Each structure stands twice: as structure tokens, then as C-alpha cells.
A and B are shown apart, each in its own frame.
Chain A
Amino acid sequence: MSDRPIAERLLGPDGPELGCDECFEFLDRYVEAEVAGEPALHGCPRCVSPEACEQAGACLGMRAHLEGCPACAEEHASLTALLAGS
């Protein structure tokens, strides 16, 4: 079982987030940026007003989804580990 508090698991991330299909679509460029130490703003490549995302150094919609979806979070962690080790 997860170590995350029950309330956190039930309520999920606060704020808008991508869906699983969008997360998968943008995962490759998002992880490449993270591994390169660049701002991972590629979750929403069509966004033209990403001030908050730029300030956070990551697409907030993508970040929220990875907090809320354990399956996508696992795949994000795996791709990150793969690229970091290659």
C-alpha cells in the first residue's frame, strides 16, 4: 500500500490537470527536459501564457496529473530512470 495519506489519495491534486492520454503524449519530451535539467514546460506545448508554469519550472497540468495518477507516475519514473542511466 502507498505511504501517501488517505486524504491525499482520495482528494488528489488541486487544480487542473492533464488526462492519461495527454500525459502519455507529452511524457517523452517532458522527461527529456527534466533529465537535461531544463524547464519541463512541454506538457502543454500549445499554451501561450505559461507564466506560472515557467515560474514552477514545469507544466503544472502535467505535474498535477503525475501527482494524481499512480500508473502514469510509475511510467514517468521509469522513463526518467531509463534516460538518466543511458
Chain B
Amino acid sequence: MLTPEREATVGCMQRLHETAVPARAPLDADSRAWVAELGLPPGRRDDAAARLHAHLLRVARFELGRRRGALPSLSRGELDDLAVQAADDALVAILRKLPTYRGASRFTTWAAKFAILEAAVKARRRVWHDRELTLEPEAWEHFGGAGSATRDLEQAEQLDAIRDGIRTALTPHQREILVAAALNEIPIDVLAERLGTTRGAIYKTLHDARRNLRAHLAKMEAA
């Protein structure tokens, strides 16, 4: 039985898929100016595109600055090249998606999320660039330090039940993705790139695996 909280969220999710895209919100003056200038034909929008690129580059540098510790082998120049690539790719994505901008946030915020995404994905992929991606489908058999004296009984029982669920309630693909993403903490965009799929598809598999695992645990508790 769903709790009221879960029931409302289910309704939320159903509505999300049933209802059309919301009407455009009133734009603030700054956002309106961005949309108008970037909506001009190529050649006449170049000045606005250059200003937007400068904004995206600042955001990409900000994002990569936050990740500097994970990229110690990159020189300052290489890090800045990555920021420029992220800003370039974000600009292309924004110009392509401009008609979908609904004005629900400031234009600069909407644009910034593209630069953050591009920079974050590039940084994660760079971190994993030279690392072999071992999916280790059997790693789940050993997690949790079986036999550790420090684990309490309840935790040990839960981990045993999860281990059993991974073995019996998941498909081989779900098991592979769950172990890689949740246990070995390989970023899902890295997994998506190596497996030739999308981040959304990887997360959907992870989500389904987790749902099957929770159902398995509930069945075990009820038995």
C-alpha cells in the first residue's frame, strides 16, 4: 500500500507524462533580450552568441575549478581547453534547444546548466580516460566485507539479503550496471560512453535493478 506521500508523488509522475509542455512563463527583460537576439538568423546573432559563449566559458571554468582535485594530471592549459570545449558544446546545444526554453528560470540559469553538464561529463570521462573499465560482474559476491566483526547483525542480514537479491532477482545486465554504478561507483556517463548508450538508459537500468532488489527484500521480510 502506498503512503500518502508516495501516492502523491506517483500522481506527480503520472501527470508529468500525461500533460503537455507548460505555457511559456513571462520572461524577465534580460532573458527576453537573450532569446530575441539569439533567435536572429546566423550572422545577425553572432554578437549575442559570442556573449553567451563567454558566459558559458565562465560557468565551465567554475565547474572544472570545483573538480580540479580529481584532475591533478591536467595542466592549467589543458583544463582551460576542456572548459573551451565544454562551452563550445553547450553553445551548440543551447542554440538547438532555444525554442524549448519556456522562461521558467532566468535565461542565464537555463544556459548555465548546459555548460555545467558538458564540463562535468568531460571531467568525469577524463578522470576515467586511461582506466580500464572492469565491470566485475562477480564483485557483488564480496561486498560488505563478509565476516567483518564490526558489522552488526542487522546490517549483516540486510547485506546478505541484498547479495541474495542481486544473485536471484536481477537480469545479468541489471547486475552488471548495479555493480558498476552503485558498488564500484563508475560514473554513469562513463558507463554510457563505454557501453555505447545514453546516461538516461543506464540510469533506467539502475533504477529497475534497485526496484527489483527492494521488491526482493520486501518479499523476504514478508516470508
Contact = CB atoms under 8 A, between A and B. Distances in A.
Interface of A: 1-2, 6-7, 9-12, 14-22, 24, 27-29, 31-32, 42, 44-53, 55-56, 59-61, 64, 68-71, 74-75, 78-79, 81-83
Nearest to A55: B5
A15 B4 CA distance: 11
Contacts of B159: 6-7
Contact of A10 (B5, B63, B183): B183
Given A14-B214, A52-B5, A82-B62, A71 B199 contact: yes
Interface residues of B, number: 55
Given A31-B105, A71-B124, 6 more contacts: A12-B210, A18-B13, A18-B16, A45-B104, A49-B12, A83-B112
Given A12-B207, A44-B16, A49 B120 contact: no
16 contacts: A6-B183, A7-B158, A10-B213, A11-B213, A12-B210, A15-B6, A28-B105, A31-B109, A45-B22, A47-B15, A49-B8, A49-B12, A53-B8, A71-B124, A75-B120, A82-B59
A4 to B, nearest CB: 9
Contact of B9 (A7, A16, A31, A70): A16
Given A19-B204, A71-B199, A48 B15 contact: yes
Contact of A75 (B8, B109, B113): B113
B55 to A, nearest CB: 11
Contacts of B116: 75, 78-79, 82
- How would you classify the secondary structure of chain B's contact residues: helix, strand, loop or mixed? helix
A26 to B, nearest CB: 8
Nearest to A47: B12
- How would you classify the secondary structure of chain A's contact residues: helix, strand, loop or mixed? helix
B33 interface: no
Interface stretch (B71-79, B82-90, B130-138, B184-192): B184-192
Given A7-B158, A44-B16, A82-B112, A16 B187 contact: no
Given A29-B104, A69-B203, A75-B116, A11 B162 contact: yes
